[in-house]
Amino acid sequence: MTDTRPTARLRHGRASLAVSFFVQGAVFALLVTRIPALQDRYGVSDALLPAFLAAVPVLAGVGSVGTEQLVKRVRPGLVLRWIQPVVSVALLAAGSGTALWQLALALAVFGLSVGALDASMNMLGVTLQHAYGRSIMLGFHAAYSLGGIAGASLAWAGAHWDVPLHVLYAPLVATLVPVALFASRWYADQGTENNGGEGEREGRGDPAAGAASSAAVSMKLLLPLCLVMSFAYIGDSTVSNWSAKYLEDVLHSSEQLATVPYNVYMVTALVGRTFGDFGVRRYGAVAVVRAGTLLAACGFAVVAAAPGAWAGMLGFTLVGLGLCVLVPQTFAAAGRLFPGASDAAVARLNIFNYVGFLVGSPLVGALGGAWNYRGAMLVPMALVLATLWYARSFAPASARYGDGHERPRAVDVG
């Protein structure tokens, strides 16, 4: 009987990549939850702040595009190994400067490097899922959610005790960078027992082969997944940017209670991603994506119709449980769709992460100001619901993985 258990190298690679996802979740949360403190430190006006915030996802998209070209010659594991410290140092720089140009430079470096980081992390995740032959992608994003909760909690503590940003960031960066570098020794992206990505690995170092690999990614086939990625991040940015204001201004909650929905959203996302891989293995990616879509849409409907703050919190909880499965499964589906060019597919798909982030918050804010915020919540609901139309794009194709054995009965083989 063929042994289908993952090798020690794959298990170590999986654990080390989860550490990187955790670190990135923590670092990103430490930045976005302390935006008001950064604004006060540098004296950024309310009119100028949106330009600073919009520049980060725009530059992240540029970083993702650049990573697609870079991994034709360099392994994604090496890109991730050396770019993750840059992201952390950029965070520290943002919290340590005094002049506006220093903040602009730090955020520019953060944006470019975070795009490369997101792309290379998910490239490695897709490669490992191919090698495992079963769904593990949600687990990596669960580690990211856990890091986000840890980072947001530390940021809250810093705000509560009025800790200066550079004092808060410096010891954390000094801890997280060595941890990530140490874990990176076990990244599994070269010589991995994975037939699906073999053509890609052979193409690295050969510009002609790399160009052919990128050309193999048809944007017409990838477009449904790009739309789903955008819809998911429009929903995510709606919760992260507007949940507190919605509870306080529309549902008349206290200021303290208004801070709770996003924390609950992150916790439910962690729970959903922790157990989501088991659902994919049991019922398949299509069923899980459909269930998540319906749950998120129901959540937005509950938020829009909520008579009070607690009903609104229930709605945001449902949104978190539903949305949390969409992004990891979208990356996994791109890897299945282009097994010989998954790195290029992931890099291009990752751009629409930032498209959704850029569109979501201004869209809901503009509709809320011109119309009302209850009605505005129906827009991300409708966009997320459109994922049902594209759910078949998540269907797995039969393929050969691992050390040459077939797994024809597996519902999802990444």
Report the length, in residues, of the chain: 414
Q: Selecting from 3.40.190.290, 3.40.50.1400, 3.40.50.880, 1.20.1250.20, what CATH number does the domain 8-406 have?
A: 1.20.1250.20
CA gap 353, 229 in Å, rounded: 6
pLDDT of 3: 54
pLDDT of 337: 92
CA gap 403, 410 in Å, rounded: 16
CA gap 87, 187 in Å, rounded: 19
Q: Are 57 and 357 in contact (CB under 8 A)?
A: yes
Least Cα distance to 71 among 189, 223, 219, 187 occurs for 189
Question: Residue 11 CA to chain centroid, in angstroms?
Answer: 22
Q: What is the pLDDT of residues 206-228, one digit of tens each?
A: 554 455 455 578 899 999 999 99
CA torsion angle for 17, 23, 24, 25 (degrees, to 10)? 110
pLDDT of 242: 87
CA gap 338, 197 in Å, rounded: 9
pLDDT of 295: 97
Domain spans, the chain? 8-406
This prediction's pTM: 0.88
CA gap 46, 28 in Å, rounded: 22
Least Cα distance to 257 among 318, 300, 302, 308 occurs for 308
CA gap 325, 404 in Å, rounded: 29
Per-10-residue mean pLDDT of the chain, 414 residues long, equals 74 96 94 87 89 91 96 94 97 96 97 97 96 94 94 87 94 96 89 45 48 70 96 93 86 79 88 95 96 97 95 94 96 93 95 93 88 94 96 72 36 43
pLDDT of 215: 56
